[in-house]
Amino acid sequence: MGAKGTSSADKSSPTTNSSFSIKELLLRGGSLVGLIGLSLVFAVLSPHFFTLSNWLNVFRQVSVVIILASAQTMVIISAGIDLSVGSLLALGGSLAAVAICYWGWSLLAGALLGVLVAGLVGLATGTIVAKGKIPDFIATLGMLGAVRGIALLITGGLPVPSHFTATELTGYLPAGLIWLGSGDIGGFPVSMMIAVGVVILTWFILNRTTFGRSLYAVGGNREAARASGINVDRVKALVYAVSGLYCGLGGLVLVGRMNSANALMAEGMELQTIAAVVIGGTNLFGGKGSVFGTLIGALLMGVLANGLNLLNVQPFWQRVINGLLIIAVVVFDQWRRRVLR
């Protein structure tokens, strides 16, 4: 009996190991498999897809989304959501451009002003959420409109620099700022390097700092985190402040890429960042997630947009396909969490 039992167990173990590997692949690498599969499809359909120049173009296009999605990852891991990231980007980028072009500030001073103000607004949002006990969705939705309005007031509703501005006040964006969004180092886009640096920094924050571990704890179980001595209100306020700083940096990169700033740039980017986070496997209810998954999610969206452009798919149909992709990914995410676990 003992020998037969052992033999039976031995026979079943390879199947168990194989099943475990498939589960792990679906649970942890679903977005990567999707990215590879989508890339292979477009490589077959378009001879221009698998070229170095095209891939660098994809990275350049998604760099700002990656920066903002990294911030969104931390917020969602803490069981929150930030709908104001696009507006904060516009505020930070517009304020920096106005300070440099019209107020006579240096590049460094103007850039720091834009990033710090975006961070302070993020801190204010987080404080409202934490102290006012207001749902994250409502607080950031209100900030989305208010911050966009402030950016319009700062710019007067005009692009910066503007040809309609009085001659004596007209300035130009410095080459250093344009280099952030459009420059290259050794053939690789500076914006891509900044985005990768932000991803690495975010990974370090989440996995190697007390603050990062607190984000997972608060997102997993807020009351348990509070009972263990974590200052939940401070963590919530700080994660929105960090999100604001990331948005300010993203604003500088986008202004450099566009060679102009305006208060309406990055409209709808908050939805793109949420989609990248969800596609990357982060739990929308908090407590679980990875910034590297978000990176894959953002790249998958960028590859999809790039491939559809190469195939000359109409922009209207691209919106339909992107929307259906997000729905399909969320359905798959819920299924794999319910069935595979």
pLDDT in tens, 35-69: 999 999 999 999 999 999 999 999 999 999 999 99
Question: For the residues 160-170, what does the mean pLDDT come to?
Answer: 58
| Residue 34: DSSP 8-state | H
Count the helix, strand and coil residues of the chain and give each as a percent rounded to the nearest 5.
75, 0, 20
pTM of the model: 0.89
Position 60 scores a pLDDT of 94
Q: From residue 86, how far is each of 33, 50, 266 by CA, in Å?
A: 29, 31, 5
**pLDDT of 163 over the 60 cut:** no
Question: For the residues 76-86, what does the mean pLDDT come to?
Answer: 97
Position 145 scores a pLDDT of 96
All structural domains of the chain: 55-339 (1.10.3470)
Tell me the pLDDT tens digit for each residue of 174-230: 999 999 999 999 999 999 999 999 999 999 999 999 999 999 999 999 999 999 999
Position 281 scores a pLDDT of 86
Question: For the residues 241-253, what does the mean pLDDT come to?
Answer: 98
**pLDDT of 73 over the 90 cut:** yes
Position 341 scores a pLDDT of 58
More confident residue, 12 or 198: 198
Position 11 scores a pLDDT of 41
CA quadruple 113, 115, 116, 118: dihedral, nearest 10? 110
**From CA 121, how far away is CA 195, in angstroms rounded?**
22
More confident residue, 99 or 332: 99
**pLDDT of 262 over the 70 cut:** yes
More confident residue, 121 or 7: 121
**pLDDT of 13 over the 80 cut:** no
Contacts 24+ apart (CB under 8 A), 158-165: 158/262, 159/260, 159/261, 159/262, 160/94, 160/97, 160/98, 160/101, 160/102, 160/260, 160/261, 160/262, 161/97, 161/101, 161/102, 161/260, 165/102
Per-residue pLDDT band at 171 (split at 50, 70, 90): low
More confident residue, 7 or 275: 275
Per-residue pLDDT band at 17 (split at 50, 70, 90): very low
* Residue 220 burial class via C-beta count within 10 angstroms: exposed 0-12, middle 13-18, buried 19 and up: middle
**pLDDT of 149 over the 80 cut:** yes
